[in-house]
Amino acid sequence: MTRGKFITFEGGEGTGKSTQCQLLAEYLRLKGRDVIITREPGGTDGAELIRALLVSGDVNRWSGVTEALLLNAARVDHWEKVISPALATGTWVICDRFADSTIAYQGYGRGLDVTFLKNLHESVLPNVWPDLTYIFDLDPKIGIARALSRRTSEVRFEKLEIDFHNRMRTGYLDIAKTFPERCRLIDANQDIETVHRQIVRELD
């Protein structure tokens, strides 16, 4: 059986990733693909519990190191129980965030050593990276305003200072430049249909 494809959507807050995950899944199903959508942190019962610890509460609730360890714990559970089994059956997996988020948020945003974070990932999930990653780029001020306008919870990261979000955006842009064979940069400051058409073009 042919292995499924693993596609991730990355970017800052309020960039429209979740909407585009749904649109791409619909497109692929019309093409006859079996598709599941999942997210990080989360995707399993255990990982969703970790998510609740990470995305709510006081902004100073956890240090960057603690966040990275919690995220990797959730990611291993998610990979072992959901993503890997689905791919093995030929199902395509669309995931809202994966390891690049930890590098951008905890590395560039929190100031942790990026090499440490990459080594941590390789230690727990050796050679596990997406087949294709869409990185949504948007001015953090616009994205945060969007996110805060539609969420009543899970806003711990949105409440961090704007400098954090600017550093995180730089991280994503660096990731896109470093891994051009895997990453596709998307201008998220466009209407939904325009972004979707670009995503489909890149995939085809």
Find the CATH number of the domain harbouring 70. Answer: 3.40.50.300
pLDDT in tens, 124-161: 999 999 999 999 999 999 999 988 887 677 889 988 99
What domain range is 199 assigned to? 6-203
Q: What is the DSSP string of 62-75?
A: S-HHHHHHHHHHHH
Residue 195 lies in a domain: yes
CA atoms of 92 and 102, how far apart (whole Å): 23
CA atoms of 200 and 197, how far apart (whole Å): 5
pLDDT of residue 154: 82
- φ and ψ at 184, to 5 degrees? -125, 120
pLDDT of residue 33: 96
- Number of structural domains found in the chain: 1
Residue 1 lies in a domain: no
Average pLDDT, the chain: 96
Residue 14 lies in a domain: yes
Residue type at 165? H
Please state the pTM of the whole predicted model. 0.95
CB 109 within 8 A of CB 165: yes
Residue 70 lies in a domain: yes
Which pLDDT band, with edges at 50, 70 and 90, does 72 fall under? very high
pLDDT of residue 144: 93
CA atoms of 141 and 122, how far apart (whole Å): 33
Does residue 3 come out as left (phi exceeding 0), alpha (psi in the -120 to 50 range) or beta?
beta
Residue 149 lies in a domain: yes
pLDDT in tens, 2-32: 999 999 999 999 999 999 999 999 999 999 9
Residue 110 lies in a domain: yes
Chain-centroid distance, C-alpha 134: 9
pLDDT of residue 150: 79
Query: Which residues, at least 6 apart from 22, have a Cβ–Cβ distance to it below 8 Å?
Result: 37
